[in-house]
Amino acid sequence: MSVTSRHKEKKESRMKRKNKKVDTVYYLGVGFMAVLFFIFHTCAFLKGIFFSFTDWKGYGAWNFVGLKNYFYVFKNKDILAAYAFTFKFAFISTIAVNIVSLILACALNAKIRFKNFLKGIYFLPYMLGSLIVGFIFNFIFGNIIPKLGQTIGNESMSVNILGTSHAMWAIVFVTVWAGCAFNTLIYIAGLQSIDTDIYEAAALDGAHGFKRFRLITFPLLAPSFTINMVLSVKGYLMVYDQIMAMTGGGPGNTTTSIAVMIYKQGLGKGQFAVQTANAVILFIVVVAISIFQLRILEKREEKVG
């Protein structure tokens, strides 16, 4: 195809688009959301980036300080500890959530009794909101489990786990419990889109049980797997609600995630500019990890699809 003809074709298609009049109301609808998004998200975000280069305390006069806040973030031991905790937490939670919800989804997709009722039950935590879930478990860990531990005479169960150096595991447990709802839903949707013919063919070829799962089901779930991995990692890197409801970052700073740190130090302790810089870094980290994951997982989708 010559250059000119290609050019012509482009022009034609553009004209075709022009002739087909699009109702302005669609632009109005989309534009309205775009403006809202720009005002309440993008503007605030850009302003935040701007102030991360200043010594602004959240009010009053300020000066430019260049990259000083960023150096401070990288040098501060507590902030680095928060990053270490957050990565560890996100890694463990993501894997645990996806394993548990995959098992749940496969079980719920099988022909079992009370299937819809059980689906409803498993979806319930998602409706509650993580703050409420956090408060509920705060009570369970603080009052119910220690009493149970004392009754059965179990030493390690008779203290509130949220007050020990194992507090992170309690938070992981609650996060997995609450996070499974959404991930299971996506996996179920993925499972239902798999054609039953494929299973029949697999059965003829002798693939059953775990073999069938490993060779047929799991590869065909690739798109759902991608969504769940990316959303989980993104969500758990920004973990905040559960921690505020259960430990407030303690004991010591053992459960202080980056988001908790930004809130506590930035708004409560007068480090507004430093923590804004921290927030910008967190943003870059989350975006970088998400893009990296998408690249790898999409490549995998292409291979197995």
Partner 1 sequence: MKKKSVAVLLITVMTSALILPGCAKSDKKEVEFFSSKAENAEIMKTLVDEFNKENAASGVTVVLNTPADAGTVLKTRLAKNDIPDIIAYGGDSTYTELQSAGVLKDLSGADYLNTVQDAYMQMVYDVQKNKEQVPYAVPYAANASGVIYNVDKFNELGLEVPKTWDEFLDVIRKIEDSGETPFEYTFKDTWTLCCAWNSIAPDLAPDTFNDERRKGNTSFAATHQEIAGKYLELMKHAQKDILGTGYDDGNKAFANGEGVMMINGNWVLNQLVTANADVNVDMFAVPASNDTSHNYVTSGIDVLLCESKTSKYPEVADAFMSFMMRKENNQKYIDDQFAFSPIEGVTQSDAKVAGIQKDIESGKVANFPDHYYPSGFDLAEALSEFAMNYVNGEEDSKNIDTFLKELDNQYDAVNIAE
Which parts of this chain interact with partner 1 (CB under 8 A)? Answer: 23, 25-26, 28-29, 32, 57-60, 72, 76-78, 142-143, 146, 158-165, 247-254, 264-265, 267-271, 274
Q: Is residue 10 helix, strand or coil?
A: helix
Q: Is residue 98 within 8 Å of 222, Cβ to Cβ?
A: no
Q: Find the shortest distance in angstroms from Cβ 162 to partner 1.
A: 6
Structure tokens at 47: 């302003």
Farthest-apart Cα atoms in the chain, separation: 86
Burial class of 127 by CB neighbour count within 10 A (0 to 12, 13 to 18, 19+): exposed
Query: Is the Cα dihedral 169, 174, 176, 179 positive or negative?
Result: negative
251 or 305, CB closer to partner 1?
251
Nearer to partner 1, 135 or 177 (CB): 135
Instruction: Report the alpha-carbon distance of residue 183 to residue 232 in Å, rounded.
Output: 8
3 state SS of 54: strand
Closest separation between CB of residue 199 and partner 1, Å?
41
The residue (of 226 and 254) whose beta carbon lies closer to partner 1 is: 254
Nearer to partner 1, 155 or 195 (CB): 155
Find the shortest distance in angstroms from Cβ 66 to partner 1. Answer: 14
Report the alpha-carbon distance of residue 305 to residue 298 in Å, rounded.
10
Cβ 128 to partner 1 shortest distance, Å? 20
Q: Which is nearer to partner 1, 252 or 305 (CB)?
A: 252
Residues forming a β-bridge with 64: 54
| Distance from C-alpha of 82 to C-alpha of 260, rounded to nearest angstrom | 9
Q: Kindly tell me the number of DSSP H helices and DSSP E strands found in the chain.
A: 16, 0
For partner 1, the closer of residues 3 and 25 by Cβ is: 25
